[in-house]
Structure 1
Amino acid sequence: MKEANKDPEPTHVERPTDELADPLSIEDAADLTQRIIENIEHVIVGQHDAAEHILTTILAGGHLLLEDVPGVGKTMLARSLARSIDCSFKRVQFTPDLLPSDVTGVNIFNQKTHEFEFQPGPIFGNVVLADEINRAPPKTQAALLEAMEEEQVTIDGTTHDVPRPFTVIATQNAIEQDRTYELPVAEIDRFMKKLSLGYPNPEDESEVLRRVVGEHPIRRLDPVASASDIRRARATVSQVTVREPVREYVTRLANYTRDHGQLGVSPRGSIAVLRVAQARAILEGREYVVPDDVKLEAETVLSHRVRGTSGTMGGEEGKAVVQAALDNVPVE
């Protein structure tokens, strides 16, 4: 009998440098985070908590979903972060006609060499802004899945690593639901956090107007950190101590959401909480996680992973389930 045809094993293209970064000290890592946050606030007004959330996401090696009404600064927040770090920034405007290859890249035949050459897409950046991600159909949205989970992209059987650090910041239109596509659950679960900025208060909005008269402050924003700094800070985060009582607390929170929602938090979500709590400890200058770190991060990390009784992912129902878990699950 002939052996059944099998897909060939993917060929792996190694990173030019795949060495483990030397961790920063706790003090240096905390100082780095403060420099980046202060730099972001040269452009973004009244969003200190959001700046902290976006930075802890990057230090924890995760991805961020920003959902809100148009014009409140989602894209500008992502750009300010990218400008604060001396690294490659790529932007993808998601539209209904966008193809998966427009995101990941494609092999093109070179007439001179008579060989196929890989032309990388915009996914190959340190910070990738997926603008209005829900305007593209699910097939195109799914082009991000492998890169977000495994930090690699497979094209025609060849696997290409994305650069490190690698973070996807996606914005999502929350208003024109009839002109958008719902994100698959598998993709939502790959976003470590989901944030909503909201409208600024009158004082902050007045300050925004003052700053943008003339040249926009984003044009004057200089980097205060390098990609190497972020890799080293991530190494520091990974060494932050998480003791057994904290791990058990996160497990109980996750199980509460599974018992009180149609779909609860996945193990990936539990891992995300711990990683972000480690990053939060660095912001506070600590080398260990305390339960308050978990409580501070739980809503942004867990709510969008919970499907409430109405069948809707996240939203107010998801937040209510997570808040109930925080209120009812004891710290032991």
Structure 2
Amino acid sequence: MATIPTTMRALVLHAYDIGSYSSLTLEERAVPEPTRGEVLVRMATSPINPSDLASLQGLYGVRKALPMVPGIEGSGTVVKVGSGYFARRLLGKRVACAAGAGDGAWAEYLVAPALQCSPLPDSVDDEQGAMRIVNPYTAWAHIKIAQQAGAHAIVQTAAASALGQMVNRLARLRRISVINIVRRDAQVEMLRSLGAQHILNSESPDFDAALRDLCRRLNARLAFDAVSGAMTGRLLESMPPEARVVVYGGLAGELISMNPGELIFNQRHVEGFYLARWISHQNRLSLLAMQRQLYRLGDLTHAQVQLRAPLEDAQHAIATYEANMSAGKVLFVPSMSAG
């Protein structure tokens, strides 16, 4: 196994600024040491997720102490381990990994909890492995929630995203109809080319009437909302009484607005979904079973990549992803050279 250096390059955030990432800088840092139950991963690649953008602005569920290295997930090779059975069994293996309470994955090395690392089979490369936690787990959770609710149809916003596409593929496998909401005609055509049947453009003048009609015809009483803002209220008003909107994102950047009468008189409900909390409520065996099933499903959890960037190009990489998230993921590749 290659020698581990004493220092590494890492992207470091120094301030939480809404709408700006200017405090994110590339720095030289000491390579962290794994302790009990932890592993040191030499990072191959790490994606930018919407949750990463929220974290950079201090809008995510957990505000880490600054300065800190961002990056929720990634992939790489375990090159050193702390004590403990689960950590020792990962030494030398390629893994998908999620950052713990400390620094994140946008660096050459990451210390991660062993229980938040999953060995990658040979059939999964580093790029797809880096995206095997946040979106696949969320898509799986959404479908499980739908099944537990006995739903035969669901609504989802931001449907052209990598996550939205995964939900469509998993829902088709489980024979659950999906009403997909997007913002552009190009996204309508893209989803249609991928086999989606029910697609609505929220910018169309007849959107609310069309959504109401589809929800009635399909008896869609469960929605997953990544947009929030006014969209949450529009979803509530379009679905039948006793419907439920699960909010898991805030892409609109606005407070949720809704008619309180929908909650009071029509018994409609709004709740939140936070992946880390959902995972914490699952037992270890069920999570391992989920991981195995997701790997077996293969292409159903495949994510497109629009850009691979070195750590030096962080500002350009983030701007590219923010400008068009539905075009595919943007990946940081620490071994890449700038230019």
TM-score grouping bracket, smaller chain normalisation: under 0.3
TM-score by length of 1: 0.25
More helix by share: 1
More strand by share: 2
**Which structure has more RCO (C-alpha within 8 Å, separation ≥ 6)?**
1
